[in-house]
Amino acid sequence: MRRITGYIVLILIFGCAGLGVWAQAPNQQGFEIMKNLDIYSNLVKELNQDYVDEINPGELTQTGIEAMLESLDPYTNFIPESQIEDYKFITTGQYGGIGSLIHQQGEYIVISEPYEGSPSDKTGLKAGDKILEINGKQAKGKSYEDVSSILKGQAGTTVNVLIQRDGAGKPFEKIITRENIKIDNIPYYGIVGKNIGYIKLTGFTQNAAKELKQAFLKLKEGTSLKGIIIDLRGNGGGLLNEAVDIANIFVERGQEIVSTKGKMADKNHSHLTMSPPVDLNIPVVILVDRSSASASEILAGSLQDLDRGIVLGQRTFGKGLVQNVVPLSYNAQMKITVAKYYIPSGRCIQAIDYEHKKKDGSFGKIPDSLIRAFKTKDGRTVYDGGGINPDVITNPRKFSNLAMALYGKYLVFDYATKFVREHPSIAPADTFEITDSIYNGFLEFIKGKDYSYKTKSERALEDLKNIALKENYFDAIKEEYDHLKIRMEKDKQEDMKKYSDQVRELLRMEIVTRYYYQKGKIIAALKHDPELVDAIATINDTEKYTGILSGKFVQPKPEIPVKSEDDDENPVD
C-alpha cells in the first residue's frame, strides 16, 4: 500500500472518466460550498420538523449523496460505515464471514459454493442448501444483500443457520464460527502443453504480485519453461501498485509502467518498477476478455507497450481512471476518481466518456474520430480510447439461448445437487466428462420443468405482429406469420440436440465444482479452452511470437462497437 498524502488510504483502479475543472475562483468556490451546505442543513431540519409523515434523515441524506455522485461517474461512491467490510474485501481480498458464495433462487437464498476449507465447508454446508432461518429469524423473502450482510461478521463470532437440504428430510441447524476469509488472487497455476506455465490471476488485492512471483518461481523449479501464460480473463482489477509489481517480474528495474495525471498536481505520479526482474526473456502471453479491466489493463497494456508480451483474446473493458479511498467523519469513506492513468506508450485506454453526459443522462463511447495512434517501445502501432486491443484477436465464446435458459433458471445447478447426492465421487477434474448416461439423466430431470426462452427471431416476429396490427396489415400476413411461428417452435425443439455440447459443458463445470471447488473448475475449463490452445501455439511458434513483437503482424485499429444491452459499464472490482 502506498501513501500519497496524509489523508489518502490507498490507490485503486476502478474506471476511467474525467472530472471537469472548476470554473470558479477558489474563494468563490469555497463560498458556494458553504452556502449550499447551509441550505441543505436547513432543508433537512425543516423536513424533520414539518413534513406530514415521519422521515429518516440518514436515509434522505444518503439518497441525496448518491444522486449527487451519480452525476459524475459510476466509480465515485460514498461508503457508509455499514459497507466498509465490502470495500476492505476489494483491497485486501479478506472479510469476516462463513466463506461461501450464495445466490437468490425464488424466495430463498441458496448456498452456491462453499469455499474450500472455509467455515461453511468445515461445518458441512453444501451447494444447493436452502437457508430457511438465520439466528432464529426467517430468511424467506430476504434479499441477497440482506442475507450476505448477516452472514458476514467479526471472526470468532457465530451464526446459526437453519438449512433445508434436498433429499435430507427435515431441516437441520448448523452453528458456524466466522473466520477471516482470504480469497486467493491465484486460485490455480500449473504446467500446460509441453513445459509452458499457466497462472490464473483473478484479482489485484494486497500481495498479488508476491503470490504471482512465487507461483512463477515454483513453475520454473525443475522445468525448462518455454513460456508463461497469465490469464486475466474476468479480472476486474484492484490495486495499481500490484499491477506495477507484477509487470516488474518481467521488465527491468526503473521502467515506467503507468503514470497518473489529475486536476491537482499531487495526483500526478510516475510509477516505476522498483525491484530486479525475475525473467527478462521468457515468452509471455496474457489472456484477456471484455471483463478484463483496470489493473488488468495496466498489466496487459504495459507489457504490450514495452513489447514484452503478447496480448491474446478480446478487446478489454476500457477503464482508465485512478481512484483514492479517503476517510470521512463517522467511519464513512469515499471512493473518488482523482486522475486518469496512462500506460508506457502514452495512451489512456478509457472507453466511456463520462465527462460529457448526453441529454438522456447516459454516457457515450469515446468517438472513433478521437481515437489516436501511439507507438510501442519498438515501434508497433497501438491505439487509445477503447481498452487494450489484443495482438491476437479471438472470438468470444457465446452460449445459445437454450444453454443460458437452463443455466439461468438453475436447472443445471439443481441437477448437479441431485447428482452429487447420488454419486459420492467422480473422476479427477481434468478427466471427468458428461457421459450419455449422465446427459440422459439430465434430460429426464428437466422434463416438465420450465426452461422457456425467446430467440431474437421470435422477438422480431412479435414486433412485426404488433406493428402490423397497429397499421391494420396483420390480416394480410397472418398465414405467413403463423407458418413462421410454427417453424421457429419446431426448430427450438431441436435445440437440445443442436446445442448438446454446450449443455454438457455447463453440466461438467457445475458438477466438477461440487467435488473439486474453484481449483477443479479452472482445471476442468482449461481442458476445452480454445484460447489456451491459441496461447500455447503462439508460444510454440517462435516465428509468429517474434513476428508480432517486431511489428511484422500489424495490429488493426480497434472497431469500437456501439453499446449494446449486453455491455457492462461497471464490472465488479
294, 306, 212, 202: which is closest to 257 by C-alpha?
A: 306
H and E: helices and strands count for the chain: 17, 24
Question: Helix (H, G, I), strand (E, B), or coil: what is residue 98?
Answer: coil
Check if the beta carbon of residue 350 is closer than 8 Å to that of residue 365: no
How many other C-beta atoms lie within 10 A of the C-beta of residue 106? 10
Check if the beta carbon of residue 125 is closer than 8 Å to that of residue 173: no
Q: Which residues pair with 95 in a beta bridge?
A: 181
Check if the beta carbon of residue 155 is closer than 8 Å to that of residue 179: yes
Report the greatest alpha carbon distance in the chain.
Answer: 78
How many other C-beta atoms lie within 10 A of the C-beta of residue 392? 20
The sign one gets for the Cα dihedral 233, 565, 298, 312 is positive
Question: Helix (H, G, I), strand (E, B), or coil: what is residue 213?
Answer: helix
Active site residues: 294, 305, 319
Give the containing element (helix H, strand E) for 48.
Answer: helix 26-50
Q: Letter for the amino acid at 24?
A: Q
Within 13 Å, how many C-alpha atoms sit on residue 495's CB side?
A: 22
For residue 198, report the phi and psi dihedrals to the nearest 5 degrees. Answer: -135, 130
What does the CA dihedral 221, 222, 223, 228 come to, rounded to 10 degrees? 0
Q: Which residues pair with 468 in a beta bridge?
A: none
Question: What are the cell numbers at 495?
Answer: 435445440
Check if the beta carbon of residue 100 is closer than 8 Å to that of residue 113: yes
Q: Which residues pair with 163 in a beta bridge?
A: 131, 172
Check if the beta carbon of residue 207 is closer than 8 Å to that of residue 241: no
Task: Give me the helices (H) in 423-473, please.
Answer: 436-445, 456-470
Residue at grid coordinates 508460444: 539
Check if the beta carbon of residue 144 is closer than 8 Å to that of residue 181: no
Q: How far apart, in whole angstroms, are the C-alpha atoms of residue 151 and residue 57?
A: 27
What is the DSSP annotation of 330-383? GG-EEEEEEEEEE-TTS-----EEEEEE-TTS-EEEPPGGG--EEE-TTS-EEE
Residue at grid coordinates 458553504: 34
Pairing of strands 310-313, 321-327: unpaired
Q: Letter for the amino acid at 306?
A: L
Question: What are the cell numbers at 23?
Answer: 470554473
